[in-house]
Amino acid sequence: MARVVSLFLPLWPTDRIRKRLGADAPAPEAPLALVGREGRRRVVLSVDLAARKAGVRPGTPVAKAQALYPDLITMDADQEGDRTGLEKLALWFQQRIAPLVAVDVPDGLVLDTTGADHLHGGEPAMLAEMVRRLRDAGITAKAVVADTLGAAHALARYGRARTLVVPAGETAAAIADLPIEALRLPDNMIEDLRALGVATIAPLAAMPRAPLALRFGPDVARRLDQAYGRISEAILPVRPVDPVMVSRNFAEPIGAAETIARYIGRLVPPLCQGLEERGQGARRLDLVLHRVDSRTEAIRIATATPVRDAKRLVRLLCEKIETIDPGFGIERMVLTATLAEPIAPRQKISSLIAEEEPDVSDLIDTLANRVGHRSLYRFAPVESDVPERSFCRVPALAPDDQKDWPEHWPRPTRLLARPEPVQAMAELPDQPPLFFIWRGVRRKVKCADGPERVFGEWWQGDAELTTVRDYFRLEDASGERFWVYRSGDGEHGETGSQGWFLHGIFG
């Protein structure tokens, strides 16, 4: 089942202008309108949220808008710049989310995320991350994922939720109560349908098709069928500037997994040759398969380092063939290096001097393309005494920054995401607990080591000026070892709550 994301940017023209102007942009609370010409009239084309709250709407003559709202700031609209900006944004999402990303003029993007959501923590997490990234960049956004482009487009623009996941197979119920404007029909057709008393999608879909086609032509039925998934709607993805790309057309459609694998093996070598001519290696490959029913399928692989080893790339691509739905057949295959980087020449180490370091990048690539690159990482030390701040995640093959892990106090192999409160009995101010109760289990302490005092970091905030934690390593009667701390120094209330918490477990 296909899954399509509609990313709606309701304030895109004004958000883009503010982002481009930077420090010179009008204040966020100042109403802003972008103006241009419609025929001989000079009218408002786009407004920001402040102008919308003030009552300014697109289509209002500029003179009238300025007369009614003297504080309104007007600037010339740049519709070509808006489209170019959308294309750049589409390329950005193409590199990070999914290989099939298209511009949805004038205020959105469309992404085919079929089979890609698990790489981003599932569909809810993927949508939330997309909206958060845009919000951090100063761009207002809504995101909806559904089975069809038409349904996702409708819910993104006429639904209330900022992010929405429509479960597979529930498209009809999700769009039933939306207004008929959500079907992307011409304005004159909308007016005629409303004159007939049809206001929402459900009653329109229930009407007989023959009278509808006779009165309104094929558009109404086509838009309904696209929304419900009865007919496909092509997504024309954006392409990076001057990528290394190879393609193959077929006189007869193909569909067998073995046949697809064979042609992958024929496409990769010329792609690697093109990369070699540029002195580059592939970091990301997208294979787009065009079906005879105008639908597209896509698979993506990524590598930890630049690669142009044909056998390795073929193997990574072929591992994902099982995710392809060939339908009635595939008539065209396009393989693109959507991300390529220079391959630096490396001096081989002589066996007389030292042994060459093993190359684990192939293993990393194999695992990462199965579970997602975000799920494969290692930890690196950070200069901080607070345990939860003393490390960070880095890519599996990130260069070593030469920082050493602290050795003066042992740390547990497992650190809890959040310290969990425990009940404990201990002599104050600096004795370890005699026992503690964690998750309903009473554990008697057999031996202990500590305390190790950790102070708050005053530069993080005033609340940490007097904060203190006293950590103890505890071993219970069964031999399990725990890392427990008291919040506070055991004497002064301003240093903490004096409660006990379990923060880690030793292996």
Element (H, E) at 481: strand 481-487
pLDDT band at 376 (very low <50, low <70, confident <90, very high): confident
Q: What is the average pLDDT across 149-156?
A: 96
**pLDDT, tens digit, 9 for 90 and up, residues 227-250:** 999 998 888 889 887 889 999 999
Number of H helices, E strands in the chain: 14, 20
pLDDT at 380: 85
CA max distance for the chain:
89
Q: Between the CA of residue 215 and those of 6, 189, 192, 196, 221, what are the distances in Å?
A: 30, 10, 10, 12, 12
- Provide the residue type at 494 as one letter: E
Q: What is the average pLDDT across 394-400?
A: 80
Q: What is the average pLDDT across 136-160?
A: 96
**Distance in angstroms (rounded) separating the CA atoms of residues 470 and 497:** 12
Question: Is a pLDDT exceeding 70 seen at residue 495?
Answer: yes
Q: What is the average pLDDT across 492-502?
A: 90
**Distance in angstroms (rounded) separating the CA atoms of residues 344 and 404:** 27
pLDDT band at 396 (very low <50, low <70, confident <90, very high): confident
pLDDT band at 354 (very low <50, low <70, confident <90, very high): low
pLDDT at 195: 93
Question: Is a pLDDT exceeding 90 seen at residue 362?
Answer: no
Q: What is the average pLDDT across 76-83?
A: 94
pLDDT at 352: 56
pTM of the model: 0.70
**pLDDT, tens digit, 9 for 90 and up, residues 126-139:** 999 999 999 999 99
pLDDT at 8: 97
Question: Is a pLDDT exceeding 60 seen at residue 349?
Answer: no
N-to-C CA span, the chain: 43
pLDDT band at 356 (very low <50, low <70, confident <90, very high): low
Answer for the pair 209, 221: CB distance below 8 angstroms, yes or no: yes
**pLDDT, tens digit, 9 for 90 and up, residues 172-219:** 999 999 999 999 999 999 999 999 999 999 999 999 999 999 999 999
The per-residue pLDDT of the chain, averaged, comes to 90
Give the list of residues 6+ apart from residue 53 with CB closer than 8 angstroms, or none. 31
Q: List, by residue range, all CATH 3.30.1490.100 domains of the chain.
A: 244-342
Q: List, by residue range, all CATH 3.30.70.270 domains of the chain.
A: 1-238
**pLDDT, tens digit, 9 for 90 and up, residues 276-295:** 999 999 999 999 999 998 88
3-class secondary-structure state, position 152: helix
pLDDT band at 402 (very low <50, low <70, confident <90, very high): low
Among 134-143, 144-153, 350-359, the minimum mean pLDDT is found in: 350-359
Burial of 461: CB neighbours in 10 Å, binned 0-12, 13-18, 19+: exposed
Task: Say how far residue 400 (Cα) sits from the centre of its chain.
Answer: 27
**pLDDT, tens digit, 9 for 90 and up, residues 301-345:** 989 889 999 999 999 999 999 999 999 999 999 999 998 989 876
pLDDT at 285: 94
Architecture of the CATH domain 1-238: 2-Layer Sandwich (3.30)
pLDDT at 134: 96
**pLDDT, tens digit, 9 for 90 and up, residues 4-38:** 999 999 999 999 999 999 888 898 889 999 999 98
Architecture of the CATH domain 244-342: 2-Layer Sandwich (3.30)
Q: Residue 40 carries which DSSP code?
A: T
Question: Would you tell me the crossing angle of helices 310-318 and 361-371 to the nearest 10 degrees?
Answer: 20
**pLDDT, tens digit, 9 for 90 and up, residues 64-74:** 999 989 999 99
